Amino acid sequence: MNVALVYDRVNKWGGAEKVLLALHEIFPDAPLYTSVYSPEKAPWAKVFPNVVPSFLNRIPTLNYKHELLAPLMPLAFETFNLDKYDLVISVTSEAAKGVITKPATLHICYCLTPTRYLWSHYDEYFKGRTFKDVTNPIVTYLRTWDKIAAQRPDVMIGISTAVEGRIKKFYGRESELIHPPVDTKKFEIWNTRYEKTKPSYHLPSTSYYLIVSRLVPYKKVDLIIEAFIELGYPLVVVGTGSEEKKYKTKYKFKKNIIFKGFVSDKDLISLYQGAKAFIHPQEEDFGITAVEAQAAGIPVIAYKKGGALDTVIDGKTGVFFKEQTIESLIKAVKYYDDSNQHREMRRSCINNAQKFSKERFIKEFKALVDKNIVAKNH
């Protein structure tokens, strides 16, 4: 069976890229089609037998200016010739689902979310009346195309209950639910590793709270920082991004806020294991870091929306806060800090995380493919 994988753009590393690597384990001979490809920014993609970028890759500026890509993405994916493939799997939060396949080809779309800037989070991306007026014709065109493109796959898969709801609302389609893969095995408790890591990262002598996130506006990291400044509790911030310099400058005199920037996977495991709790303040489509924290035995204090509703069990593996405000987060942190269930929560976290393992993902995805191949051939 000839199989092809399709992804929006191959120029970064994150949760979606972990999905692609898990699919590569299932289909090791499948090439990867994409709009743009940057080997320097995506060394993980070297495992694929071939990465096939669209014509957009010949325009260097577009490789890092994503906002310029949007109007051209439909054409980029529609021009791929996928006639020789029996199975096409698109992994997408944007336009990859719009590839055109033969009627006999089974097209399965693993939908990370319906395109955020067109649908669920439109107002966050297009702020201001003037900007909305100027971009309205482009948005109208892209919304029309996006809804048409979403009808092309034979099967839609949502990565969380929240995403399934968006698929139904914006695309009018039913979907299957398969949570993304999390490599839970690597988060086994290594206390000796933590003791070695602690001095090199100058971690607080007392227990600390942890956030692991890209430092970009919509991740709401500044909300956490402001809350912990008021609380006075140690907060370790792991991650880089467009807001990194701004945050480090603004909070450089706040001794309880510790920025660690990029951290290797091995050291990150240790930072998870040394934390008192993990803070998850944003509405994520799924939220792999919340599962990673639980795999390390760390409870999660999470915003009660999005993927966290699938991954965090309130009162057992963490605590929810209902509003994205400093006051609501402080209340949740104090509630958790005052509780005497930390040890029980840690045990529950490890058990809960196994429900999202990579092995589980591979098993469920294979079963879905087999079921739909049989249905397609009858």
* Highest-confidence segment of 250-264, 300-314, 332-346: 300-314
Mean pLDDT of 144-171: 98
* Domains in the chain with CATH codes: 3-181+358-376 (3.40.50), 184-355 (3.40.50.2000)
| pLDDT band at residue 47 under the 50/70/90 scheme | very high
- pLDDT for the residue 129: 61
Of residues 154 and 61, more confidence is placed in: 154
DSSP letter string, 228-276: HHHH---EEEE--STTHHHHHHHTTT-TTEEEEES--HHHHHHHHHHEE
Report, in angstroms and rounded to the nearest whole number, the Rg of the chain calculated over CA atoms.
21
Strand-pair partners of 277: 209
Q: How far is CA 25 from CA 20, 139, 178, in A?
A: 9, 37, 17
Average pLDDT of the chain to the nearest whole number: 91
Q: How far is CA 280 from CA 90, 219, 274, in A?
A: 28, 9, 17
Strand-pair partners of 258: 236
- pLDDT for the residue 66: 65
Strand-pair partners of 302: 280, 320
| pLDDT band at residue 69 under the 50/70/90 scheme | confident
Strands 176-177 and 155-158: parallel
Cα separation, 103 vs 370, in Å, equals: 18
Strand-pair partners of 319: 301
Strands 235-238 and 208-212: parallel
Of residues 126 and 1, more confidence is placed in: 1
Helix (H) or strand (E) holding 343: helix 342-353
**pLDDT over 60 (residue 191):** no
- pLDDT for the residue 341: 80
**pLDDT over 70 (residue 209):** yes
**pLDDT over 60 (residue 190):** no
Strand-pair partners of 130: none
Alpha-carbon torsion 13, 17, 21, 24, what sign? negative
The lowest-confidence range among 59-68, 109-118, 155-164 is 59-68
Percent of the chain with pLDDT over 70: 91
Q: Which residues are CB-neighbours of 160 under 8 A, at least 6 positions away?
A: 177, 179, 285, 286, 306, 307, 309, 310
**pLDDT over 90 (residue 182):** yes
Of residues 205 and 104, more confidence is placed in: 104
**pLDDT over 70 (residue 195):** no
- pLDDT for the residue 157: 99
- pLDDT for the residue 193: 55
Mean pLDDT of 182-203: 67
Would residue 60 be called left, alpha or beta, if left means φ above 0 and alpha means ψ between -120 and 50 degrees? alpha
- Taking only the tens place, the pLDDT of each residue in 140-151 is 999 999 999 999
Count of Cβ atoms closer than 10 Å to residue 67 Cβ: 10
**Mapping DSSP to helix (H, G, I), strand (E, B) and coil, where does residue 107 land?**
strand
- pLDDT for the residue 26: 98
pTM of the complete model: 0.89
335, two tokens: 């509630």
The lowest-confidence range among 62-66, 87-91, 303-307, 359-363 is 62-66
- pLDDT for the residue 64: 62
Mean pLDDT of 335-343: 87
Mean pLDDT of 349-361: 95
Mean pLDDT of 251-260: 93
Cα separation, 281 vs 18, in Å, equals: 22
- Taking only the tens place, the pLDDT of each residue in 280-313 is 999 999 999 999 999 999 999 999 999 999 999 9
- pLDDT for the residue 88: 99
User: Which amino acid makes up residue 177?
Assistant: L
Of residues 20 and 120, more confidence is placed in: 20
CB 352 within 8 A of CB 294: yes
- pLDDT for the residue 35: 95
Cα separation, 10 vs 190, in Å, equals: 33
The lowest-confidence range among 187-191, 239-243, 365-369 is 187-191
Q: Which residues are CB-neighbours of 30 under 8 A, at least 6 positions away?
A: 3, 4, 5, 23, 24, 48, 49, 89
